[in-house]
Amino acid sequence: MDNKLFTPLQQVRGIGPERAQRLQRLGLHTASDLLFHFPRDYQDLSDERPIVELEEDKLQSVCGQVVEVAARSTGFGKSRVQVLLSDGTHLLKALWFNQPFMQRRFHQGQRLIFSAKPSLRGSTWQMSHPQITWLGDDEQRLAGSLLPIYALTEGISQYHMRRFVQTVVEDYAALLEEVFPPALLTQYELLSLQPALASIHQPVDSQALLPARRRFVFQELFVLQLALSIRRNSFQQLAAPELPTTAKINARIRRLLPFELTASQEESIDEVSADMALDRPMNRLLQGDVGSGKTVVALYAMLVAVAHGWQTVLMVPTEILARQHARTLHHLLEASRVRYALLTGGLATAERRKVLDDLAASQLDMVIGTQAIIQDGVTFGKLGLVVIDEQHKFGVRQRAALREDDRSPHTLVMTATPIPRTMSMTMFGDLDVSTLSELPQGRQPVNTYLVTPEKQAHWWAFVRDRLREGRQAYVVVPLVDESETINAPSVAEAFEQLTNGELADFRLGLLHGRMPSSEKDQTMIDFVEGRTQVLVSTTVIEVGVDVANATVMTVAGAERFGLSQLHQLRGRIGRGSHPGFCGVLVDAPAESDEDANTSPDPARTRLESFAATTDGFVLAELDFELRGPGDLFGTQQHGMPPLRIANLLRDRDVLNEARREAQLLVAADPGLKHADHTKLRSQMLKRYGQALDISDVG
Ligand code: ADP
Ligand code: MG
């Protein structure tokens, strides 16, 4: 690549040092960065009209002047901002719901363009959440009917950003070289780099945008899939112990299991066993809905390793879960000679020392623990298998933390959440996947209700009835920051209120993540052993906690949770032979507002879907559609750079193509050494080398 592409932004025509500094906040340092700062959306101005000529349900634009800005609260932390726009003869009302900050962006006299599908309310035209172009006094309208909308930072207006990008496209785009080999461009009918770049920033119309966007989406997903394939390849070149499941080992393990396995569990165990029998490391993801019985599959694999004299580690995200797994093992392994220990942050120094020494000396077969395990100072004598439960709390890189230079233990990853396929292909694309597609027999369904304020008394009476029958109950309250406690009760307050109110006759426990671990433990054990009847808790119980006698759950503040998270929480009940009941406390439905005609509250709609669906895969897809991938896996959490243009929902087809092609290419040229592939290779390393720990390829 020509070095001029890396011209610092302050030297780019029309930018200067001050603005260059502001642009750095967006990660934009060079001309090249700005060339690839893709619009996050477009405002379509192709159908601009006077207000009087608007039609319903059709994307149109109106240009005019702001005559009034008003904001008001509509209760329960909800709000509405209203802007009146005049085109000289008529008025249009633009509305924003629950975006109070929008008020500050408008003032009287501003000239601007709104674009949206308008609707006629009485005699007034309305647009909700329109796209906006501000027309300052000194700002000319840019040519074109499809205006790019860029991510901005303070002090850089949309107008400026458009001009800067236009400048770099004019001055620098010609220096760019194509990264794809010609054959690939032809095969996938991809627009070549330069015209694609021009069109993505300045599309002539929406038709011209499509091939440009597709090219960059393909490129982004292709480069990601190359990285994942290469990581997978390099993993497979490592040595791992051969741990075949012999008939004898199989029989010995099965004697320990207290139940018949489901067909799905059998299938997954077969897949895992086949992997572990090979001399290269297993790298498998086990996914299944809450309660589908992933633990026993992991346990089986662990026992196979132990039978061959190798150590295994089970890593979990919380101490509570570590203790619970330790209890399960305690029951299952009573009749065996397997030596296991718990290793968590809460351990006393001397105890911890002893566990570490025993691990290093191969005096322990199994260790269960939190991330503390993968921190410094843990050496295994002979580590054969790593199991990571509830993976989404672990970063991608931690997965590799226990491997050595040329060898690696087998790895089994289990997810807390069923993952939409497009997500797992990007997040875990380097793993093989086993899926538990059924629940064990005799599982009782969980019935879910939305409990409005006037039904709350009734709900608590129902909870008391179940408690009197001998069942136990959870009450889940979101963890709130001190800064936002206004309407949201803290878990401690909820505990107080229930102790003195609705549940005064019962024994309650309180659990949250900030308690000292010895206290957490005691609270959990009291609940598991039935000494407390109700556990008032934050979402620390979300992952994996398993108390079969707990059949009722009350969730407060559910709007704050994603559907998958709610489903995880709900998975805590209905685990035994009694049916489960989940009550989600909700606000009263929004009062109908004659002039605003509020569209249905999306938060409520979401909760209604939650109440109506018990399939975790369906809910995960829905979450993904409604709230995007971030809700399933925060980018920070999984440690991968965010996608810049691809949208895993819209671009499924491209993802499949890109993945297939990337795999073929890596199979043919594992080090990407061919002259045709060097540009792809350097892009891949630049973007994912660090995140995926791929430094030296081939
Ligand atoms: P998850 O997949 O959510 O991690 P667990 O492994 O915790 O699920 O299993 C949920 C519950 O189901 C546990 O109490 C476990 O003992 C039980 N279980 C697992 N497999 C079976 C089975 N095949 N038959 C009966 N109960 C099972
Ligand atoms: Mg589990």
Give yes or no for a contact between 68 and 106, defined as CB atoms under 8 angstroms apart: no
- Strands in 344-498 per DSSP E: 366-369, 383-388, 410-414, 432-436, 446-451, 472-476
Residue 144 tokens read as 């074109």
- Choose one of 295, 320, 393 to mutate for the ligand 1 pocket test, by most ligand atoms within 8 angstroms of C-beta: 295
Q: What is the structure's pLDDT at 231?
A: 86
**Ligand 1 midpoint to CA 433 (Å):** 19
Burial (CB count within 10 angstroms: exposed 0-12, middle 13-18, buried 19+), residue 481: exposed
Q: Which ligand is nearest to the CA of 331?
A: 1
**Token pair for residue 393?**
């709390």
Nearest CA to ligand 1 atom 9: 293
Ligand 1 atom nearest to CA at 576: 14
- Residue 204 to residue 209: CA distance in whole angstroms: 8
Using the mean position of ligand 2's atoms as its centre, give its distance from the Cα of residue 542 in Å.
10
Ligand 1 first shell, C-beta below 6 A: 259-262, 265, 288, 290-296, 440, 544, 546, 575
Q: Measuring from atom 20 of ligand 1, which residue has the nearest CA? A: 293
- pLDDT in the model for residue 602: 72
> Measured in angstroms, how far is the CA atom of residue 310 from the centroid of ligand 2?
23
In sequence order, the 6+-apart residues with CB closer than 8 A to the CB of 207 are: none
CA atoms within 13 A on the CB side of 608: 8
- The DSSP H or E segment spanning 54 is none
Q: Whole-angstrom Cα distance, residue 162 to residue 39?
A: 9
CA-proximal residue: ligand 1, atom 18 (nearest): 293
Atom of ligand 1 nearest to the CA of 261: 23
Ligand 1, atom 10, lies closest to the CA of: 291
Q: Each residue of 368-386: pLDDT tens digit?
A: 988 766 666 688 899 999 9
Ligand nearest to the CA of 388: 2
Two tokens, residue 275? 């992997």
Radius of gyration over every alpha carbon of the chain, rounded to an integer in angstroms? 29
322 Cα–ligand 2 center, Å: 11
Among the bound ligands, name the one nearest to the CA of residue 568.
Answer: 1
User: What pLDDT score does 378 carry?
Assistant: 82
Which residues does residue 448 pair with via DSSP β-bridges, in sequence order? 582
The parts of the chain modelled with pLDDT lower than 50 are: 1, 394-395, 483-487, 592-598, 633-637, 698
Closest Cα to residue 102, out of 82, 123, 87? 82
CA of 389 to the centre of ligand 2 (A): 7
To which H or E segment does residue 91 belong? strand 91-97
Full-model pTM: 0.77
pLDDT of residue 595: 42
What residue owns the CA closest to ligand 1's atom 13? 293
C-alpha distance from residue 10 to each of 15, 28, 533 (Å): 6, 11, 65
- The ligand minimizing its distance to the Cα of 418 is 1
pLDDT at position 597 is 46
**Residue among 254, 259, 327 to mutate when testing ligand 1 (max atoms within 8 A of CB):** 259
Tens digit of each residue's pLDDT (9 = 90 or more) over 450-468? 999 899 999 999 999 999 9
